[in-house]
Structure 1
Amino acid sequence: MKLHLLTAAAAVLLAACATTPAVSSGPGQLDTEGPVQVSWNDPAEFSEITRGRDRMETLRGTWVRELATYLRDTAAERLQPGETLEVELLDIDRAGDYEPWHGPEADDIRITRHIYPPSIVLRFRHLDATGGVLAEGERRLRDSGFMSRALTHRSSDPLRYEKQLLDDWLSRELGRS
């Protein structure tokens, strides 16, 4: 009798797993607020997803949305009146990585070392007030010296290195701070 109940319970669990929709948020975009529009590819396809134990947060796109919101708000402050900016985040690999050889007790600890720099690949279009293209293209952002720099973001912010990378790009691209 116990064996039948156990088998039935296992079958129910397997069926639930098979019919549970994927957690991935898929491609997304922020609601349009102001002159900057930010969208992103499916976080399940980002380089970041191939590493680490925080797969669920990556699949949900939680930190991707936070980074996109930061980019939108920061870029909006740098644009001239009438200008717009469209940015698509194509790939993200966050600073740090997980090192499974430290054992199961360290499965959820992101180790930050120089060998794990942040990188972001994005596509953008910067338009003037008449809709003319001021600049556009694809950029591969990477900061190999990220640990040697003074950061403008709080040391407790888990996205501080990625935000700094975006700040640097915006300074180069828009030329204003």
Structure 2
Amino acid sequence: MQTPALTIAAAIALAIASSNAAATANVSYVNTDAMTDVPRHYKDLESMEYVFTQHLSQLSERLPAGQVLKVEFLDIDLAGDVFPRVPVRDIRVTKGQADWPRMHLRYSIEQDGKVVRGGEAKLADPNYQLGVNMYQQDLYGYEKQMLDNWFRKEILPQK
């Protein structure tokens, strides 16, 4: 029969071991006030940051165990243009013209505390409304698709 302290210690050890094994993502946003086109209302800005952070966390699950993807967003220009409708809520309209999504980010992949590789990337998708987008109905779907393409081409291990 196990004592409660031993059971708790075993559960903590298991949680630490499994968290060290899985790949993770650390995402930050550098000076959102100076970014080209992000939501102006702080709740909408928090929502955008949450969506991108969660998306990159999901993508990082495809990395080898123990790796950490670190991403710093240096600039974001969301797809479409904003048309202020009321003081609190804006409307974003995408036309497929010169309003494509753009992102500038700095990234690194770390394994055991050492940088395996990294760099800066300037992402842009001028054809964002063409082709298949599995996030078409999602908030920031064009940007998520652009991040998917970057992750698949630049981050996933080449075989």
TM-score interval (norm. to shorter): 0.7 to 0.9
1:42 aligns with one of 31, 38, 52: 31
The answer as to whether partners of 2:81 and 2:94 remain within 8 angstroms in 1 is: yes
The answer as to whether partners of 1:152 and 1:164 remain within 8 angstroms in 2 is: yes
2:77 aligns with one of 89, 93, 115: 93
TM-score (norm. length: structure 1): 0.66
1:1-177 equivalence runs, <5 A: 35-49=24-38, 54-57=39-42, 60-75=45-60, 77-99=61-83, 108-114=90-96, 115-128=98-111, 130-153=112-135, 155-175=136-156
Tell me the distance in 2 between the aligned counterparts of 1:44 and 1:69.
21
Instruction: Look up the SS of the partner of 1:95 in the other structure.
Output: coil
User: How many angstroms does 1:141 deviate by?
Assistant: 0.5
**Higher helix residue share:** 1
Gapped regions of structure 1 (runs ≥ 5)? 1-32
Q: Which amino acid aligns with 2:114?
A: G
Root-mean-square deviation over aligned CA pairs? 2.4
Rg: which structure is higher? 1
The answer as to whether partners of 2:101 and 2:143 remain within 8 angstroms in 1 is: yes
User: How many angstroms does 1:99 deviate by?
Assistant: 4.8
| CA spacing shift, 1:133–1:44, aligned 2, 3 Å | same
**Higher strand residue share:** 2
Summarize deviations over 1:142-162 as a string: whole Å, max 9, x none: 001101121021x32121001
Summarize deviations over 1:17-38 as a string: whole Å, max 9, x none: xxxxxxxxxxxxxxxx962111
The answer as to whether partners of 1:35 and 1:85 remain within 8 angstroms in 2 is: yes
Summarize deviations over 1:120-169 as a string: whole Å, max 9, x none: 111011123x433321111000001101121021x321210010011011
Q: Which amino acid aligns with 2:106?
A: R
Instruction: Look up the SS of the partner of 1:152 in the other structure.
Output: coil
Gapped regions of structure 2 (runs ≥ 5)? 1-21
Tell me the number of residue pairs that the alignment of Structure 1 and Structure 2 aligns. Answer: 133
TM-score (norm. length: structure 2): 0.72
Tell me the distance in 2 between the aligned counterparts of 1:79 and 1:48.
30
